[in-house]
Structure 1
Amino acid sequence: MSTDTPDTMNEDSIADDWAQALEEQASSGATVEPAPAFDAPNAPSANTMPPGGSNATQDIQMVLDIPVQLSVELGRVKVPIKYILQLAQGSVVELDALAGEPMDVLVNGYLIAQGEVVVVNDKFGIRLTDIVTPSERMRRVSKS
């Protein structure tokens, strides 16, 4: 008898679907670098850290489980409250982004990457196309 629960089997099925979609993309000639899984067993450990970095390793280990807000922004618009009160089902809100433009990926409100929408089995995802460099992120944070 299997010890898998329906939730575990469903998660495995979804992961297989995403893997298959990425393989299809790779076979079509596009280059893909899969992101590391959050619970990856091969994530950096104390053994892969530079020598003398044991304190740094302990420090980074302390923050790895801190939850952050990850959001993908399609676009923005500033509107008066009277416009919002007039919205109804079927209303269209025009955003400042153009169709086909990359979407912004934000962590706690700070831009970290841009990407494009992908759909697998009626689920939306985002394929990262451009990562903001750490130095650029620091420059943007210091401006705020």
Structure 2
Amino acid sequence: MSNDKTKDPGEIDPNEAIADAWAAALEEQKEGGRPGTRSGTEEIRRMSPEDFTGTKPEPVSEVNLNMVLDVPVTISMEIGRTKIPIRNLLQLNQGSVVELDRLAGEPLDVLVNGTLIAHGEVVVVNEKFGIRLTDVISPSERVRKLR
């Protein structure tokens, strides 16, 4: 494929620029230089823990949580669970009763993205169901349950 355009004398051919860059890199390598260094005399210095003594993480009280305040999460209330074989699942229809692993009157679980964060009881507010939190699980207890 030929190009019939005449080249402007001041225009740099991109292929020539790339070739020149490769030639310079190869020449630097022959002289003993390492990639990313300006000369072959620079040495890599090993870091020790003492090199970081002046640096401190930001205190927790100063962390800006505004970035995560608008992140959506899924909150769900669970009244109980059960395991049944697929055969029984396929036989369910309107009016079927499924027995759960909870007793009547036991508190519901409040889950955020599938993680238990509280227990509560059902309430009715303006003819809508709601939940009154009766026990909030501490962050340290949540971490303990993850292990």
Residue equivalent to 1:121: 126
CA distance in 1 between partners of 2:102 and 2:117 (Å): 18
Residue equivalent to 2:95: 90
Equivalent of residue 134 in structure 1, options 112, 124, 139: 139
Map Cα deviations across residues 124-144 of structure 1 (whole Å, 9 max, x no partner).
Answer: 000000000111011122x2x
CA distance in 1 between partners of 2:97 and 2:123 (Å): 23
Aligned to 2:99, what secondary structure does the other structure show? coil
Deviation at 1:51, TM superposition (A): 9.8
Residue 109 of structure 2 is aligned to residue 104 of structure 1: yes
Deviation at 1:122, TM superposition (A): 2.1
Structure (1 or 2) with the larger CA radius of gyration:
2
User: In structure 2, do the counterparts of structure 1 residues 128 and 89 end up closer, same or farther at CA, with 3 Å as the change threshold?
Assistant: same
Deviation at 1:91, TM superposition (A): 0.4
CA distance in 2 between partners of 1:129 and 1:51 (Å): 28
Structure 1, unaligned runs of 5 or more: 1-49
Structure 2, unaligned runs of 5 or more: 1-58
TM-score (norm 1): 0.59
Aligned to 1:82, what secondary structure does the other structure show? helix
Higher relative contact order (CA 8 A, sep 6+): 1
Q: Which has the higher helix share?
A: 1
Output the amino acid matched with 1:70: I
RMSD across aligned positions (CA) = 1.7
List 4+ stretches of structure 1 deviating above 4 A.
Answer: none
Output the amino acid matched with 1:117: V
Output the amino acid matched with 1:92: V
Residue equivalent to 1:80: 85
CA distance in 2 between partners of 1:132 and 1:93 (Å): 28
Residue 75 of structure 2 is aligned to residue 70 of structure 1: yes
